[in-house]
Amino acid sequence: MIVLGIETSCDECSAAVVKDGEKILSNVIATQIPFHALYNGVVPEVASRKHAEWIYAVVKESLEKANLGVSDIEAVAVTNRPGLFGSLLVGLSFAKAFSWARNIPFIAVDHMLAHLYAPRLYKGEIGKDDYQTKKPEYPFLGLLVSGGHTIICRADDFDKIQVLGTTIDDAAGEAFDKTAKFYNFGYPGGVIIDKLAQNGDSAAFNFSMPSLHKGDHRYDVSYSGLKNAVINQLDIFKVKENYTKEDIAASFQKTAIEILLRALLNAAEDTGITTIVAGGGVAANSYLRARLKGYAHLECIFPPLELCGDNAAMVAGIGYHYLKRGECSSIDVCASARVTGFKKKYP
Ligand code: KG4
Ligand code: ZN
């Protein structure tokens, strides 16, 4: 089955064509980063306007790259939750119109579940360029780390997850972005901090771990303390010449990733599940990847770097499995900015 995927939940306008849920025939990602970089963060109004301007061209390019015409598409999958409401609506409305005009099924999918699905995709050959090096077997533990969410979950199927832990305040990616913003490193912060940290001393600053790792919060994470601690170093950083931005980046990154690892290792220990699947923009982080590879008892599966961030291939991929089961969405399904259970309220 040839599925067209559409993803417009945040600042990437993406369309992809995927065969039988796994083979990527095309995956076009038009990034809006230059437009948001001016503001050091995503401006929702700008994001939805750009999606509206670009969506037709992006879908058209995805068909051209797949060497297919409109009539070859058998179904449409689209992200309708969670994300920026106005941005989601652009992709959702386009997907509805496409499926209605063509009289083919359409399915609205969850963005975070789609991130978890990403390692199952391949392009060209299986295993080439890190694409589907290993197909994760259920159950596994999911580590979903993006700009808006931080979720540790147990996954029993592509659509069946149990959230074990979340962030009680900021998301992991948000902490990278905010740190970069305060230090004027640029936007988006994650990829810049990752790069700077490679030449920095992670012991230059000692940022402590949050004390949140016991009882009900054993699998939860918190980033507001770390964020404030890093920001509080800004004045010292400005006057002391022996501190470099590389040192700040490395010290921040080390603690940010250790926070994730602590909660994840607790979940692995308690559940006895040793396969970990990472997804979302922060899953591209080189320190996280290196640290996780260091645990011999865990099998860690990462999507290729191109599929860590937002992309429509993962949407088409997961969509196929719903459609195969005979499920599709009603034409009046709406977008939803939030998904219950993906964020925790303190305490
Ligand atoms: O999944 P994603 O592309 O969009 C959302 O669904 O939010 O994640 C974007 C987040 C941003 O916060 C970005 O700074 C972060 O992923 N990110 C990284 C890296 N690459 C992107 N964080 C840490 N290290 C990276 N290499
Ligand atoms: Zn995402």
101-120 residue pLDDT tens: 999 999 999 999 999 999 99
pLDDT at position 314 is 98
Give mean pLDDT, residues 136-145.
97
Going from the Cα of 338 to the center of ligand 2, the distance in angstroms, rounded, reads 13
pLDDT at position 196 is 98
* pLDDT reading at 346 higher than 60: no
187 neighbors 180 (Cβ within 8 angstroms): yes
Q: Whose CA is nearest to atom 18 of ligand 1?
A: 190
pTM listed for this prediction:
0.95
Going from the Cα of 33 to the center of ligand 2, the distance in angstroms, rounded, reads 14
Q: Dihedral angle at the C-alpha atoms of 330, 333, 338, 341, nearest 10 degrees?
A: -30
Give mean pLDDT, residues 81-102.
98
Minimum-distance ligand 1 atom for the alpha carbon of 174: 12
Q: Which residue has the tokens 């719903």?
A: 322
Across 38-42, 236-240, 250-254, which has the greatest mean pLDDT? 250-254
Greater confidence (243 vs 59) lies with: 59
Handedness of CA 319, 337, 49, 145 (dihedral sign): negative
The Cα 292–Cα 298 span in angstroms is 8
Minimum-distance ligand 1 atom for the alpha carbon of 148: 7
pLDDT at position 235 is 76
Going from the Cα of 343 to the center of ligand 2, the distance in angstroms, rounded, reads 15
Q: Which amino acid is at 184?
A: N
Q: What is the average pLDDT value for the chain, to the nearest integer?
A: 94
pLDDT at position 241 is 67
251 neighbors 203 (Cβ within 8 angstroms): yes
E-strand ranges in 125-256 read 140-145, 150-157, 160-166
Going from the Cα of 117 to the center of ligand 1, the distance in angstroms, rounded, reads 17
- CA distances (Å), 192 to each of 21, 131, 150, 238, in order? 32, 24, 20, 19
* pLDDT reading at 213 higher than 80: no
Closest CA to 236 of 193, 206, 192: 206
Q: Which amino acid is at 245?
A: K
206 neighbors 215 (Cβ within 8 angstroms): no
- The β-bridge partners of 167 are 221
pLDDT at position 217 is 87
Give mean pLDDT, residues 322-339.
95
The Cα 304–Cα 276 span in angstroms is 15
pLDDT at position 347 is 46
- CA distances (Å), 6 to each of 9, 64, 122, 177, 310, in order? 9, 15, 18, 25, 11
pLDDT at position 344 is 64
3-state DSSP call for residue 239? helix
The Cα 173–Cα 260 span in angstroms is 11
pLDDT at position 345 is 56
Structure tokens at 135: 């197909």
* pLDDT reading at 240 higher than 90: no
Q: Is the CB of 310 under 6 A from ligand 1?
A: yes
Per DSSP bridges, beta strands 23-31 and 12-19 are antiparallel
pLDDT at position 76 is 98
